[in-house]
């Protein structure tokens, strides 16, 4: 991951992104704007100019689309679906959506309409795919080649899961996990455990878990898990189960493959297994969003976003010389809380030539992004600052 | 404004809102969803189900579309344009947009590209039309019959105007106002002062003024003033000049009619004049967004939004008996700062029958919304809590 190789790989990725359209997908025509692409029908409401279509079920936000505001617009938010979404009829009568609650003293099903009466809270939180940054690994990990755009900062509103558990008599004894299952239709004749989206997280996440019906002030779109999504601030996206249909407090982790062997961090070449670390809490991370390639001589505002992941963000530093010298950046706008990201800015003077511009965030417990991040089989969790740096040419 | 009459008037408005479509406007077909309407072409990207079209240039967000999150999605934000927007070509090369700066020691024009290099800040702020709440007045003030939906809470990013003034040598001596002119094309053969959008605010607003190129993380849409809008947090919408083309520090207020005689608070029947209060700083305000008409017996989450206007918000109280008893509501989500609004919630038990549900906010200096608000010729600035209350029937 030193000098030349990582630059070459990164530039390859930036190039590929521009060509990342998918022929043959149904979608709206988008005119001739540079970078515009065709979107799949189910996300035809999104902004094609801000997105890279990797596949019909994986869309990435372009690095130059991130703004300096503390919110990611829904129409620019990445998409990563493990299974096709349920039929759109489930968001036509949202309040009728039923969730079965198990592992509580008084298990039963509740409709979304009932859940709304139990309580409401709102939180700003980063949603990030486990594989965000996968493209920066040198070992060509299989999976979508995300660079930085499989992430967003969103407002979620819904009922705290703790409130629901209390209304159902409390969590049953001996339960160690929150296990949530999505409402996707499964193909016939296949063991459900091989395909279904069911994830478990430690019971400690009950302090932050939200059953959310609203994203950025609107009902959660179907493509993002509406009518009801489990939101676990600080946890990787995969744990934030969409169209949540069954919510169980369990003694063991789910037997679904996506939990047992999927989303496990292990050395390159190894198969996934339950004894490997699961993709749960996110680590501190940041990336520069401007400038990305070229800029003019003179003062430039270096912009980016930074977050602490499971912890609050303490500070961000920026280097314009590949990591030799660092200066603390200014955090912009209001502090949206422990789980949100924060835009940052640093004014710099860049003389003519080539500059490696990097950012490095530190969380409230003093954890700083490492310079490099070790490869792992599936290319998860990359937060090494060097691979996330950008080479800027000043003309 | 006592009991029966105001209820009747309010209910009339709620009814009218549902039918508030405009035949003959160009716009996309929107399907058969209840409440869907046709939108004018220039805002065809907005969500028709959340908007009331009063006229081609005045669109209101429906009261039941407000969510519990600290941001209003761009596609639900109200529209109020005094003149037709400039040609859409002005947002095709945003960085080329030029603004002339006057009343500084070194006056000159700057492009948006140059402004971006000077600095960047981000702020969350309420944008609210001066006439928001006009429909609640009994005297049938002329103008769009807004109820509560000519308002939104937005993230803006741009350069602090103070930074620009400093870069141009500082504000010239004796200047008392910030005067901004929009870039709309004016009709030929008419005195520009009679139609142009040029507004002045006190120089003290320099502490908060932003020249914003970004709204909610995206480039400011043309319909909302892109490529560059003057944002004055805490000031009524009209002062937040769109497509700002000339920014002058002036000794006197603008001679434009929209400043001299328009947006002046005066008794019913009087003409506008420069010696009357101008629609500058906003006052403390709140409104309930749920429930609005009917609800079932049992626990209900009463939801709404509240803001201090020019001051920070201190608290919100809710009454379910028309103002006899009040309980403090819970503020939701992160505090987005002095100029933002905050969603609130209060759990209540409403027995069968009819209930007048009201909210009443107090700002950081102890100013509380009044029960009633005196009529004024143009129906501006209504923040009386009684007219904003909703009658809820529990079956």
Instruction: Judge whether residue A2 has pLDDT over 60.
Output: no
pLDDT score at A155: 98
Token pair 């049938």 is found at B140
Q: Is B81 in contact with B94 (CB distance < 8 Å)? A: no
Nearest-Cα distance to chain A for B336, in Å, is 5
Is the per-residue pLDDT at A116 higher than 70? yes
The first and second tokens of residue B171, run together, are 């504000």
pLDDT tens digits for A334-365?
999 999 999 999 999 999 999 999 999 999 99
Q: In terms of CA atoms, which chain B residue is nearest residue A333?
A: B122
Q: Is the pLDDT of residue B2 over 50?
A: no
Say if residue A28's pLDDT is above 70.
no
- What value of ipTM does the predicted structure carry? 0.91
Q: State the pLDDT confidence band at A296, using cuts at 50, 70 and 90.
A: confident
pLDDT above 70 coverage of chain B, percent: 91
Asked whether the predicted pLDDT for residue B287 surpasses 50, the reply is yes
Give the model's pLDDT for residue A304.
98
Domain boundaries, chain B: 3-80, 88-132+148-260, 285-394
Residue A332 touches partner B, C-beta closer than 8 Å: yes
B166 shares contact with chain A (CB less than 8 Å): no
3-state secondary structure of B287: strand
Nearest to A73 among B69, B118, B218 (CB): B218
- Does residue B18 have a pLDDT over 70? no
Q: Which residue has the higher pLDDT, B233 or A84?
A: B233
Please give the backbone phi and psi of residue B385, each rounded to the nearest 5 degrees, phi first: -75, -30
Indicate which of B217, B218, B219 best probes the interface with A, i.e. most A CBs within 10 Å of its own CB: B217
**pLDDT over threshold 50, residue B33:** no
Whether B51 has its CB under 8 Å from any CB of chain A: the answer is no
CA distances for A152 relative to A61, A78, A133, A215, B379, angstroms: 9, 7, 14, 12, 41
The pLDDT value recorded for residue B27 is: 30
Minimal-distance CA residue of chain B relative to A123: B333
pLDDT band, residue A19 (cuts 50/70/90) = very low
Whether residue B309 has pLDDT greater than 70: yes
Residue A187 class from Cβ within 10 Å (0-12 exposed, 13-18 middle, 19+ buried)? exposed
pLDDT category of residue B226 using cuts at 50, 70 and 90: very high
Asked whether B69 and B214 are in contact (CB, 8 A), the reply is no
More confident call, B252 vs A15: B252
Give the model's confidence band at B240: pLDDT under 50 very low, under 70 low, under 90 confident, else very high.
very high
Q: Is B72 on the interface with A (CB under 8 A)?
A: yes
Mean pLDDT, residues B303-315? 98
Banded pLDDT at A22 (limits 50, 70, 90): very low
Q: Of the ranges A6-20, A167-181, B54-68, B320-334, which one carries the lowest mean pLDDT score? A: A6-20
Query: A64 — contact with chain B (CB < 8 Å)?
Result: no
- Judged against a pLDDT cut of 50, whether residue B35 lies above it is answered with no
pLDDT score at B353: 93
- pLDDT at position B13 is 35
| pLDDT score, position A3 | 31
Q: Can you spell out the DSSP letters for B372-394?
A: S----TT------HHHH-EEEEE
Does A37 have pLDDT greater than 80?
no
Is residue B31 scored above 60 in pLDDT? no
What's the token pair of residue B74?
A: 């761009």
Please tell me the predicted confidence (pLDDT) of residue A299. 87
Q: Which two tokens stand for residue A40?
A: 């799949």
Checking if the pLDDT of A5 tops 50, the result is: no
Higher pLDDT among residues A85 and A111, named by residue: A111
Q: How far, in Å, CA of B201 to CA of B101, rounded?
A: 16
CB atoms within 10 A of CB B289: 23
Q: Is B36 a residue whose pLDDT tops 70? A: no
Q: What is the pLDDT of residue B110?
A: 98
Average pLDDT over residues A130-137: 98
**Residue ranges of A 237-276 with Cβ closer than 8 A to chain B:** none
Q: Does any CB of chain B come closer than 8 Å to the CB of residue A314? A: no
Taking 70 as the threshold, does the pLDDT of residue A34 lie above it?
Answer: no
Confidence of residue B21 (pLDDT cuts 50, 70, 90): very low
Q: In this complex, do A214 and B73 lie within 8 Å of one another by their Cβ atoms?
A: no
Domain topology for B88-132+148-260: Sulfite Oxidase; Chain A, domain 2 (3.90.420)
B67 to chain A, any CB pair closer than 8 A? The answer is yes
Cβ(B309)–Cβ(B349) below 8 Å: no
Q: Quick one: which H or E segment has residue A318?
A: strand A313-319
Say yes or no: A337 contacts chain B, CB-CB below 8 A.
Answer: yes
B116 and A CB contact within 8 Å: yes
Q: Is A166 within 8 Å of chain B by CB?
A: no
State how far the Cα of A275 lies from the Cα of B325, in Å rounded to an integer.
58
Strand B229-231 with B198-202, pairing = unpaired
pLDDT digits (tens, 9 = 90+) for B56-82: 999 999 999 999 999 999 999 999 999
Of A67, A121, A337, the CB nearest to B217: A67
Which CATH fold would you assign to the domain B285-394?
Answer: Immunoglobulin-like (2.60.40)
State the pLDDT at residue A63.
Answer: 98
| Best mutation target, B29, B213, B218, B394, to test chain A (most A CBs within 10 A) | B218
| Partner-chain contact A334 B337, CB within 8 Å | yes
pLDDT at A294: 82
Question: What average pLDDT does this structure show over A32-47?
Answer: 76
- Under 8 Å CB-to-CB from A12, ≥6 apart: which residues? none
**pLDDT score of B7:** 34
Instruction: Kindly report the CATH class assigned to A88-260.
Output: alpha beta
| Interface contact flag, B120 A332, Cβ < 8 Å | yes
For chain A, the average pLDDT equals: 91
pLDDT band at residue B20 using 50, 70 and 90 as cut-offs: very low
Mean pLDDT of B289-300: 86
Comparing A294-303, B69-78, B358-367, the range with the smallest average pLDDT is A294-303
Query: pLDDT-based confidence at A36, cuts 50/70/90?
Result: low
Sheet of strand B79-80: strand arrangement: B51-55, B58-61, B79-80
pLDDT tens string A364-377: 999 999 999 999 99
For residue A27, the distance in angstroms to the closest alpha carbon of chain B comes to 16
pLDDT at B9 over 90: no
Q: Which residues pair with B181 in a beta bridge?
A: B198, B246
pLDDT value at position B321?
97
Which residues in chain B touch residue A72, judged by CB atoms under 8 angstroms apart? 217
A263 within 8 A of A380, measured Cβ to Cβ: yes
The sign of the dihedral angle between the CA atoms of A266, A269, A275, A280 is positive
From residue B356, give the alpha-carbon distance in Å to each of B147, B288, B326, B350, B374: 17, 11, 12, 11, 21
Mean pLDDT of A263-283: 98
């Amino acid at each position: 991951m030193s000098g030349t190789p990582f630059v070459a790989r990164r530039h390859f990725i930036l190039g590929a992104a521009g060509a990342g359209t998918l022929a043959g997908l149904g979608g709206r025509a988008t005119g001739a704007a540079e970078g515009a692409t065709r979107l799949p029908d189910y996300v035809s409401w999104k902004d094609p100019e801000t997105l890279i279509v990797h596949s019909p079920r994986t869309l990435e936000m372009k690095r130059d689309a991130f703004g300096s505001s503390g919110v990611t617009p829904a129409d620019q938010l990445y998409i990563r679906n493990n299974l096709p979404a349920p039929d759109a009829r489930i968001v036509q009568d949202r309040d009728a959506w039923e969730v079965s609650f198990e592992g509580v003293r008084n298990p039963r099903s509740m409709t979304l309409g009932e859940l709304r009466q139990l309580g409401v809270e709102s939180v700003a939180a980063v949603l990030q795919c486990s594989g965000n940054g996968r493209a920066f690994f040198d070992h060509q990990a299989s999976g979508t080649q995300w660079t930085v755009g499989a992430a967003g900062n969103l407002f979620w509103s819904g009922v705290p899961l703790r409130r629901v558990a209390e209304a159902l008599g409390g969590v049953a004894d001996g339960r160690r996990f929150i296990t949530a299952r999505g409402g996707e239709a499964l193909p016939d004749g296949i063991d459900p455990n091989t395909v279904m989206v069911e994830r478990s997280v430690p019971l400690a996440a009950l302090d932050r878990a939200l059953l959310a019906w609203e994203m950025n002030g609107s009902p959660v779109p179907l493509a993002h898990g509406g009518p009801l999504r489990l939101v676990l601030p600080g946890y990787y996206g995969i744990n934030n189960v969409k169209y949540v249909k069954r919510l169980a407090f369990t003694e063991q982790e789910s037997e679904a493959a996506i939990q047992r062997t999927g989303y496990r961090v292990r050395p390159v070449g190894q198969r996934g297994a339950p004894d490997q670390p699961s993709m749960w809490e996110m680590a501190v991370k940041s990336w520069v969003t401007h400038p990305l390639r070229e800029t003019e001589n003179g003062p430039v505002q270096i912009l980016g976003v930074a977050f602490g992941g499971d912890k609050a963000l303490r500070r961000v530093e920026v280097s314009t010389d590949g990591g030799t010298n660092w200066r603390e950046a200014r955090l912009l706008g209001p502090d949206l809380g422990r789980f949100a990201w924060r835009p940052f800015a640093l004014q710099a003077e860049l003389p003519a030539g080539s500059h490696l511009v990097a950012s490095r965030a530190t969380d409230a417990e003093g954890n700083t992004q490492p310079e490099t991040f070790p490869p792992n089989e599936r290319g998860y969790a990359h937060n090494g600052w060097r691979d996330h740096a950008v080479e800027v040419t000043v003309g």
